């Protein structure tokens, strides 16, 4: 069985947009690993039955693991791709720029 941490690492690696949004991360994990608990309505929207929420990873659990991975003191990984989000999460801009391959000297205006 794959742990939630491993699922989150995989999602953060292959879907960069999940690095910026805990809702996107949770939705992607549900669709990727728990599709059997979801169904599509007549319009094609993915839905979950309330009783099945007990069997799915919560957004809070996904958020905690994402934060631990991104805020690791010696090895932060899969940082947000959006500087605005990085600033909201109080991620050091120089570390963020370096992680994404930008020159640390560059500043946004």
Q: What is the pLDDT of residues 20-73, one digit of tens each?
A: 999 999 999 999 999 999 999 999 999 999 999 999 999 999 999 999 999 888
Query: What predicted TM-score, i.e. pTM, was given to this entire model?
Result: 0.82
Q: Average of pLDDT values for 76-80? A: 90
* CB 33 within 8 Å of CB 7: yes
Quick check: helix, strand or coil at residue 47? Answer: strand
Question: Which residue from 66, 64, 65, 7 is spatially nearest to 31, judged by alpha carbons?
Answer: 7
Q: Is the per-residue pLDDT at 16 higher than 90?
A: yes
């Amino acid at each position: 069985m794959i742990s939630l941490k491993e699922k989150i690492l995989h999602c953060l690696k292959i879907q960069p947009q999940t690095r910026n949004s805990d809702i996107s991360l949770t939705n992607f994990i549900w669709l990727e690993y728990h599709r059997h608990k979801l169904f599509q309505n007549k319009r094609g929207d993915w839905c979950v039955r309330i009783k099945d929420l007990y069997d799915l990873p919560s957004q809070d659990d996904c958020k905690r693991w994402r934060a631990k991975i991104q805020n690791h003191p010696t090895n932060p990984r899969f940082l947000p791709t959006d500087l605005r989000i990085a600033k909201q999460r109080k991620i050091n801009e120089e570390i963020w720029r370096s992680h994404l391959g930008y020159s640390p000297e560059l500043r946004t205006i």
